[in-house]
Structure 1
């Protein structure tokens, strides 16, 4: 049986990744998860911590962004499905970039956000194969896509249809 690789991109201030991972485990789905570095300071400072300090904040951020891109691009390219969550508190420009990169690679994407971001994310949503609000919905999408199982339907009901 194939193990599906799911890349979890987006906001880092809530436990949505852990919720999806726990739900997938409870559903016994054959999945492996990957994600960007979610320790905010480490992600911001990786470039200067490894390659040396930069007096200009632009170059400080640039070095970190380039290092993070090595990880992000590699993991998105290797993913079977990319899930991108847009949180309520911050504007996640990097998440929008990841969604666009995944779309350019023709990766199936699932986008997560609340209604208040629907207008701002309309182009991102239009490129996605599913738009959700909750981690539970993501798990149910994965259950259906991977196992062909729809919650609430028995095997007999599914076979009869």
Structure 2
């Protein structure tokens, strides 16, 4: 499996003991959490916090519409992993992240997948357009591959 990097960002995440299942490997459902940890760290580090008291909160009010993961090699210990993510598609009110969970040295692809998100208006819970400010902030993550 190749680990050639596309555009996007690689963010380190911690694997905790509670992420492991009874067999001592990262539980399949925890890969969703690993991506969440990476995305939250990335966006917060750029001033886009998920805190409702922050000015950009309404811009980041997304819900997950679809999530798919393909597993390749189990992670069998606590410690660090790397999550490489990028934006495959930026629509009017949605975006699609592609991602890979990698070993810390990025030589092993543990899992890969995609996550489709829809931006909602926090007051109505109906789809709403992605703001120009967020569109600009997403640009470094956009992949030329569609």
Band the TM-score falls in, shorter-chain normalisation: under 0.3
Q: Which protein is richer in strand relative to its size?
A: 2
User: Whose relative contact order is higher, 1 or 2, with alpha carbons under 8 Å and at least 6 apart?
Assistant: 2
Larger-gyration structure (1/2): 1
Q: Which protein is richer in helix relative to its size?
A: 1
